[in-house]
Chain A
């Protein structure tokens, strides 16, 4: 066969550019000709080398503000609240607008008691100028080609930015004043130096100001009150009804998913620190109990989790027994943990601007980045009116790169959680580390007000994405606009955990101290099913876990999702059990007419109180494993129970008081404090001490019961 090395087909073959027939022809020639093989091999070497050299050439992307200009142009226009408002403003007379702007100033002045007259066009303090430029350049950049409707759009945004500047002049002045006054809060233009007016609050002020002009002094307080009221009402909690007592003869089974969230406790702490009692529905007792880590031994058997049970008298009702079921996930040495592929999905919407939200998140992220190593990867996806990759997946040892990306996070716009979530999962999947930790960490105040806001749709997206093997952590921030119910559901459906970050300490606890348990899942879909022995138990009640109930048949259904456990995590569930012979008031259900229970006499007579079954799956497995633990009641008095048992009982008791639970029995704040104070041993980080402080605070607000 005559081989012509000059024929372009050889190169085309190597580059995969031939059609089937041509390729078959070339392959036939390759089989029969050593020359042909040599030609192809040489081309292959040359192309490999070229590809290597050319892809080595550094690829710089666009500048951040250029990307921003593009993502803004791609974003749905009408939905950014600043613009929407500006649209309204644009339609009123210009004269009115000036009045409006002035009135915003006078309002702020009055609150700050520091009258400094400036016009909206006054030059900005440098720190703010830089920030504003970064944001607004996108809309005035001369290289942005304007087209038809865009002109109008730009005018509006210019208008909005003028107003925004006016506001920022005020903020800048506050900052300067704070610095002049030697306030320790003046930290180099950080938002934390500013009073905690939320974005929503400012907006409300502006709107009110537009509507009414400068209000008289007396009316201002009323305005402020109304705004505060509005803010509180904007928090959303799902209704929780305490689990009732159930007779064993009616239903001997209790089935539920574990809950490793801790958000409710931190949220309660936030309310109490503001001298307010939390709304009842913000109190989820299981999240309070599980906020604390309990000293259960690390599992040694073949399972990655182990069960520990204990029974003693219920402190709030001594004739009832309290059963503690503790689960402990195996500890994993942080030094030996598998590499992490983390995608922070950061809400940068306007509502995140206040100091306790984005600025705190940024500090918390830096703490966490500090702990990452070479094998780990971090990406940051932001979402507001539009979503975008803020930092592409970057190795954990490039700390300066990551930290400067964190520094560059600014709040802006409204919130389209849906698109951001999709993008974050895509980023996580394209950097998937097999055998490693793959996790999206969503940080938000949960106020998804743009795009896919329908909770059902969001949950469906998350549920779908959870199947990809990417886990989800949800970090809730802030107050006033806080959507607890949405966030808990997202974490629940997304194979995840949920924490509320109210203080820097909490951020450190969740992201640094408990990093391994937060990030490294060792068992997923952990379900608990407890069967009570009718010979020993009259009735029972699961304390908390109201929104974690599963149908009994779901226990063995491996397709049914449940909670996940991280390395070293502990999960604790408490049952209040009414022993046989002790009466309990339960609205009577009539005796069943046709059914007759057949009992296994031998087993019933075993003396066992109950039997705990736990199902879990390995993090990458699809089939569940079963662990069974029978529990015998040895009649232990409450005071002889373990420290961990007593502390958990104190937390549960406190939760019931806060919820005004019909089952709180003799619970009192005093009793809670007494028990907790005696069960603080081993409290390394002072969380149990803090608990005692919180109960004292609650007692001051609510009284003893």
Chain B
């Protein structure tokens, strides 16, 4: 029964976070296939963990491991092709489906978001895409909670100035 519980636990974790993690890793790596490999490895590592040890830090654990693995992969690849600067990787253009979109159809918000510093973009994604708390984001990114709060607030403030006019129309109830 213990085994069965663990297996159920893993499957539940997969169902809840698989999509989030692949999206996050894709953003870091700029490539879905490598992102999938990283996420697979993340879950295989989870299989080695005791559910009790992770408790309710599952999201934090998964994102942290996934992030570290993704950064490792990126570092390794940059060593091999030193001309590529990690900060200038065309990450967003490799979003799944992005090739189908052109500049005009890509939402204004996301385009504006790309003008923000990378650390702000990351915390925004973790906050709004994966619904993690400041505390979890702090643990994942190794930034302080205050810093996370500051980055998000600053990013929002920058964005809202240009967005408010349009947002009133497009706001989803």
Contacts and interface: CB of A to CB of B under 8 A. Distances in A.
**Pairing of A with B:** yes
Nearest to B160: A46
B40 A50 contact: no
A71 B10 contact: yes
Contact of B156 (A7, A47, A389, A422): A47
22 contacts: A10-B153, A11-B152, A12-B149, A17-B133, A42-B164, A46-B156, A46-B164, A48-B172, A53-B110, A54-B128, A55-B128, A56-B107, A58-B96, A59-B19, A60-B32, A62-B22, A66-B36, A70-B43, A70-B47, A392-B15, A423-B8, A423-B12
B14 A388 contact: yes
Given A51-B128, A74-B10, A59 B36 contact: no
Interface string A415-432: 010110011001000000
Nearest to A419: B4
A42 B7 contact: no
A255 to B, nearest CB: 36
B37 A143 contact: yes
A75 B7 contact: yes
Interface in B1-30: 1, 3-12, 14-15, 18-20, 22-23, 26
B95 A58 contact: yes
A57 interface: yes
Given A143-B37, A386-B7, A8 B149 contact: yes
A46 B159 contact: yes
B134 interface: yes
Of A5, A62, A79, A387, most buried by chain B (CB within 10 Å of CB) is A62
B44 interface: yes
A26 to B, nearest CB: 13
A62 B168 contact: no
Please give me the 4 A-B residue pairs with the lowest Cβ-Cβ distance, nearest first: A59-B19, A76-B3, A46-B160, A8-B153
A145 B37 CA distance: 11
B134 A70 contact: no
Contacts of B5: 419
B47 A73 contact: yes
A15 B109 CA distance: 19
A54 B152 CA distance: 14
Contact of A70 (B8, B40, B164, B171): B40
Contacts of B127: 15
A648 B123 CA distance: 70
Contact of A57 (B23, B163, B164): B23
Contacts of A388: 11, 14
Contact of B95 (A6, A57, A70, A387): A57
A550 B109 CA distance: 64
Interface residues of B, number: 61
B119 interface: no
Contacts of A59: 19-20, 22-23
A28 interface: no
A11 B146 CA distance: 12
Contact of B128 (A47, A70, A71): A47
B22 A61 contact: yes
Contacts of B170: 49, 52
Contact of A416 (B4, B110, B164, B167): B4
A59 B6 CA distance: 25
Contacts of A10: 153
A144 interface: yes
Interface in B139-173: 146, 149-150, 152-154, 156-157, 159-160, 163-164, 167-168, 170-172
Interface in A1-20: 5-12, 15, 17
Contacts of A387: 7-8, 11
Contact of B7 (A12, A17, A51, A71): A71
A299 interface: no
Interface of B: 1, 3-12, 14-15, 18-20, 22-23, 26, 32, 36-37, 39-41, 43-45, 47-48, 95-97, 107, 109-110, 113, 124-125, 127-129, 133-134, 146, 149-150, 152-154, 156-157, 159-160, 163-164, 167-168, 170-172
Given A47-B128, A50-B124, A54-B124, 17 more contacts: A7-B153, A8-B146, A8-B154, A9-B149, A12-B153, A59-B20, A60-B19, A60-B22, A62-B14, A62-B18, A74-B11, A76-B7, A143-B37, A144-B40, A147-B48, A386-B11, A452-B4
A177 to B, nearest CB: 39
A62 B149 contact: no
Given A8-B153, A47-B156, A71 B4 contact: no
A75 B133 CA distance: 31
B15 to A, nearest CB: 5
> DSSP class of B's interface residues: helix, strand, loop or mixed?
helix
B14 A143 contact: no
Contacts of A42: 160, 164
A54 B113 CA distance: 10
Contacts of A45: 160, 163-164, 167-168, 171
Given A76-B3, A419-B7, A48 B171 contact: yes
Contact of A61 (B10, B18, B47, B164): B18
A43 interface: yes
B91 to A, nearest CB: 12
B167 A49 contact: yes
Interface string A589-608: 00000000000000000000
A401 B48 CA distance: 33
Contacts of B48: 147
A67 B167 CA distance: 38
A389 B10 CA distance: 11
A144 B150 CA distance: 39
B129 A57 contact: yes
A297 interface: no
Contact of B150 (A8, A71, A389, A423): A8
A144 B159 CA distance: 41
A436 B32 CA distance: 37
Contacts of B32: 60
Nearest to B162: A46
A10 B125 CA distance: 19
Contact of B159 (A50, A51, A56, A79): A50
Contact of A54 (B39, B125, B153): B125
A161 B131 CA distance: 42
A451 interface: yes
Contacts of A56: 107
A74 B149 contact: no
A93 interface: no
B11 A43 contact: no
Contacts of B47: 70, 73-74
B19 A54 contact: no
Nearest to B92: A57
B160 A69 contact: no
A423 B4 CA distance: 11
B40 A62 contact: yes
Interface string A58-96: 111111001101110111100100000000000000000
Contacts of A389: 11, 14-15
B134 to A, nearest CB: 5
B160 A452 contact: no
A56 B170 CA distance: 13
A79 B109 CA distance: 51
B153 A49 contact: no
A544 B127 CA distance: 61
A55 B11 CA distance: 22
Contacts of B171: 45, 48-49, 52
B4 A418 contact: yes
